[in-house]
Structures are given as structure tokens and as C-alpha cells.
Amino acid sequence: MVTPKTKASLGMTLIVLFLATLVTGIILHLKKHGIIIEPRPGIKVVHWICGFVMAALTIVHGLQFKKMLNALRAKYTWFWIDTRALILFIGLTFITGLVKLLSPIKIPHLGLWHFWFGILMTLTAVVHLIRGIPGWNRLRKIKK
């Protein structure tokens, strides 16, 4: 059985993975601006691992809160819309990153698409966090 504290811990893990993925992604993007930070291959591996684990845990997180989100749809429309947009941008960021990683040829501008989807994902994630932190605090304090 999934306890509220487990859900809260998963949320905190997602925040840490999100920040690690965001920071390493920005570091990797700096190459477009002539700034190369080494060891680049190591940074790429950290970005990929954090991104994959974040995507997997996001699915778990979404399944845990699916009923709650649907119940909140009428009362908290903006939170519902933001969460749906976040799901869309996480999916698009993950798909473009996966294609970029697995493609045997370099696809023009795919990295830029991945970057912009990541930026949109970041903006919607920040709104999602701001709206969701009060609920996260309640989950942390539940004893049983």
C-alpha cells in the first residue's frame, strides 16, 4: 500500500531529479553559445540517467494522483490545465531526447526542439510545484 509519506518522498525525489536534469541540460546547451564545460560526456550521462529516472517516476507519480487530479478538475481548473500541459511537455521533451539519443544520424534542430520543450516543461513544472506544495506539506504530515 502506498502511504502519503511515500507519495511525498516520491515528490521530493522528482524535484531533485528535475533540478539535476535542468542544470545538466542548461550546461549542455551552453555549447551552442561557445561555452564548453568539461567533462561533457559525464554531464551527458548524468542528464540521460536523471531524465530517464525522472520520466519513470513521473509516470508513477501521475498514476498515484490520477483520481485526485480528475476530482480537482472542476474546482481547480487552472491546476488541472497546468498539470495536463506539464504531462504534454514532459512527453515531448522525453520523446525528442530519446530520438536525439538513439538516432544514428544528426537530425537538424532536434536538440533545439528538445531544449524549448524542456523550457516549457520547466515553466509548467514551476507552476505545478507552486500550486502543489501545500498539498505536499499535508501529505508529509499525515501519520497513518
- Per-residue pLDDT reduced to its tens digit, 47-73: 999 999 999 999 999 999 898 888 888
Q: What pTM does this model have?
A: 0.87
Amino acid identity at 108: P
Closest CA to 138 of 31, 11, 38, 37: 11
Q: List the domain range (segments joined by +) for residue 58.
A: 4-141
How confident is the model at residue 90, as a pLDDT? 96
CA distance 80 to 16: 23
CA distance 60 to 108: 33
How confident is the model at residue 135, as a pLDDT? 72
Q: pLDDT digit string (tens) for 99-135? A: 999 999 999 999 999 999 999 999 999 999 998 887 7
Q: Where is pLDDT greater, at 101 or 137?
A: 101
User: How many folded domains does the chain comprise?
Assistant: 1
